[in-house]
Structure 1
């Protein structure tokens, strides 16, 4: 086992911040940052996802250590989720669903560079993608022209739900090497940084 992932919490409500920190401390793979320590992941707690919250998310991502952000909101509409992902969120949870195990899973996935979404929200995003090009900016022409195969879509859906390579391989009856190759091919084809970047832009372009 490696060193615990250093995590910090951002919340306007100090009681909510304290409760979230207590929740995170129940996971031995996570540690709360101390003054002067840079977090690898920031858990950001908000009521809604509007321009001010997105500005805070963007500022957090632009810090020198480039921490990944898990956003926990009271409610998450598909449009809000897409904006948050586009700005740099690597995990999305509704506050009522952010119990210890699920929150820890989202934080650890973000630390690996993966993107985690609630399954029902992912389904709504996939349905919402049919209206792309109005609220979320133009779809990426390169993505739209090349498209994704059924296999690539299946793998990216499971990546978006936070599954690891071995879990995806078992569920889809592929070898772990095949899953790794699929993700690598996607990131290379579209010049993306990692799995999280692939999920974010696939959703934004409406290809999932």
Structure 2
């Protein structure tokens, strides 16, 4: 189904349909080809509601559990993009067969929005605006390789990025929240559930080196343990 760490509901045997796009809705011609869609949601109510809007549309083919990784479009429907959602988005980002859109209740900050986009999300739609037609247009836009972001979220993102650029001009604004390539790789392996021995085998380092590297990361990021370090790194877009 999905990433072992993420208890998301996925599409069961639903022979069906849908396509979509948000923000300023340009005129859009729907292709005659059906778009295969996988739906992911942590809440069964969100899952069922989304599937019901898509299932009877001729433009859409909802894929079964056995074929989730072959979907042309993956829709992730959540209240907020939390650590579990980030893990799922990260996994989907590495699947070249699919492009991902997020239907979300809210973003707490521009930083949260930027982290989500950094995880390979092509399009965003607010749940409050996600009626059937907009979902269809969202899916269609994603399938056609387009990026979609509501105007107010784009403004929030630009404000956030502008603030980051301003702070980067301050020579005192040196961030300790950075990772070397080796540290990032080890944290990615931790996020996939590997233990010290398995990480050592994968990276060709000794177990002692793996422990030392991860201890250094935990200390530098001022987090409690490996799991906390993974969550922090995902939220900051470090892995």
Query: TM-score if structure 2 supplies the norm length?
Result: 0.52
Equivalence map 1:1-208=2 (5 Å): 1-37=31-67, 38-63=70-95, 65-76=96-107, 77-133=109-165
Determine helix, strand or coil for the equivalent of 1:2: coil
1:13-40 residue CA offsets vs partner (Å, 9 max, x unmatched): 1222111011123543222113433211
Cα distance 1:26–1:125, how it changes in 2: closer, same or farther (>3 A)?
farther
8 Å CA contact 1:78, 1:128 repeated in 2: yes
- Structure 1, unaligned stretches of length 5 or more? 139-203
SS at match of 1:103: helix
Matched residue of 1:18: which SS?
Answer: helix
Gaps of at least 5 residues in structure 2 are 1-30, 169-176, 179-236
Corresponding residue SS for 1:3: coil
Kept in 2, the 8 Å contact 1:46–1:74? The answer is yes
Q: Distance in 2 between matches of 1:88 and 1:8?
A: 16
What's the Cα RMSD here? 2.6
Larger radius of gyration between Structure 1 and Structure 2: 2
